[in-house]
Amino acid sequence: MAKITTSTLIKMKQQGEKISTITAYDASFAKIFDQAGIHAILIGDSLGMVLQGQDDTIPVSIEDMAYHTQCVKRGVENTLIIGDMPFMSYATTEQAQINAAKLMQAGASMVKMEGGAWLVDTIKSLVERGIPVCAHLGLTPQSVNVFGGFKVQGRDDAQAQQMIKDAQALEVAGAQLLVLECIPAPLGKSISEAISIPTIGIGAGKDTDGQILVMHDALGISCSYMPKFSRNFIKETGDIKKAIELYISEVTKGNFPGEDHIFKS
């Protein structure tokens, strides 16, 4: 497999090929996922929950993220590496520049930030300075306290329309990828059709340009419960590499997510 870049992912969207991505936090898993042919690895701030056992992602620091990005980088040959900017590390454009630089220097090729149109100036400033940005809309877990829990977003029409406008503004600002988390499947489709950068869904239906799963969910090692939008691929294969190969093949064929994994409205 050739080295995956942001251009590879944009070309995949243009050609109607599905993008498969997953989280990883260390070199060993990253190496298996890279060899299985995953297109991008996100070092997600979900590590606060699945590695550290926290209730949410709020306690995660930029030092945590830089450390795990370095670990993943050592296991990867071809996969695109995306580093997640943790809570309040991009509250101002200046903070975003300093902290995004830490993740890029730790080995990321792109950084991810949660939020809508308020991020436009920050994204412009990062892209101008050579830092590619993945945006993130829908259930953005760093705002869990504003949402009053981990709840599906974009269910009413005004919220859905706002999310489409936000996605368009983020693309114009220079974002090259957009994660859509826990939104109704028809909204995932509308946003994916409204922008030309690839959308990567998690609980956003099957019509996004790609999918992402937290590795602990895909491998059935989550501490407590299995989210509705996930599938335990290891149960079906009994082997980590085969599980990820099955995940990629199911995404590519449009078989995952299935009807049971989506929010219809």
- What span, in angstroms and rounded, lies between the C-alpha atoms of 194 and 170? 12
> Is 181 known to be catalytic?
yes
* 84 sits near ligand KIV (criterion: CB under 6 A): yes
Residues 17-56 touching ligand KIV, rule: CB under 6 A, are 23, 42, 44-46
- Between 195 and 202, CB nearer to ligand KIV: 202
Q: Which residues contact 29 (CB under 8 A, 6 or more apart)?
A: 75, 215, 240
- Between 89 and 128, CB nearer to ligand KIV: 89
Active-site choice (181, 193, 236, 250): 181
- Between 15 and 75, CB nearer to ligand KIV: 75
- Between 23 and 109, CB nearer to ligand KIV: 23
Min. distance of Cβ 175 from ligand KIV in angstroms?
Answer: 14
* Helix or strand run (H / E) with residue 102: helix 93-106
Min. distance of Cβ 178 from ligand KIV in angstroms?
Answer: 11
Min. distance of Cβ 32 from ligand KIV in angstroms?
Answer: 18
Q: For the purposes of burial, counting CB atoms within 10 Å of the CB of 265, is it exposed (0-12), middle (13-18) or buried (19 or more)?
A: exposed
Q: What is the phi/psi pair of residue 197, to 5°?
A: -85, 155
* Residue whose tokens read 């981990």: 150
Residues 179-208 touching ligand KIV, rule: CB under 6 A, are 179, 181, 202
- What span, in angstroms and rounded, lies between the C-alpha atoms of 128 and 95? 15
Residues 213-252 touching ligand KIV, rule: CB under 6 A, are 214
Residue spans of beta strands (DSSP E) within the chain: 19-23, 40-43, 80-84, 110-114, 133-138, 177-181, 199-202, 210-213
- What span, in angstroms and rounded, lies between the C-alpha atoms of 115 and 133? 12
- Between 44 and 132, CB nearer to ligand KIV: 44
Total residues in contact with ligand KIV, by rule CB under 6 A: 11
Min. distance of Cβ 179 from ligand KIV in angstroms?
Answer: 5
User: What are the structure tokens assigned to 234, written together?
Assistant: 């290891």
Active site members: 181
- Binding residues for ligand KIV (CB under 6 A): 23, 42, 44-46, 84, 179, 181, 202, 212, 214
